[in-house]
Amino acid sequence: MTKIKLATAVALGSIATSAYAVDPCLVGMWEPDYLQFGEQMMDVMDAEEVSITGEALMTIFDTGDGQYDIAGLTIGTKVEGVPPTDVTLVGRGEFSVVAEGEDFFFTMGDFAYTATASVKMPGMEAMVMEIPVTDEMAPIGAAAGLYTCTDTELLFEPIRGDDGTVGTIIQKWFRL
Rounded CA-CA distance 32/73 in Å is 11
Find out whether 103 and 78 touch, Cβ atoms under 8 Å: no
On whether the pTM is more than 0.85, the answer is: no
> What is the residue-level pLDDT of the chain in tens, covering all 176 positions?
333 333 334 344 444 444 446 999 999 999 999 999 888 888 878 889 999 999 999 999 999 999 999 999 999 999 999 999 999 999 998 989 998 889 998 888 888 888 899 999 888 898 999 988 876 666 566 788 899 999 999 999 888 666 555 556 788 999 99
φ/ψ of 148, rounded to 5, equals -135, 130
Residue numbers of the domain that contains 78: 3-175
What Cα–Cα distance (Å) separates residue 15 from each residue in 20, 59, 174? 9, 21, 25
Rounded CA-CA distance 155/141 in Å is 15
* Structural domains of the chain, count: 1
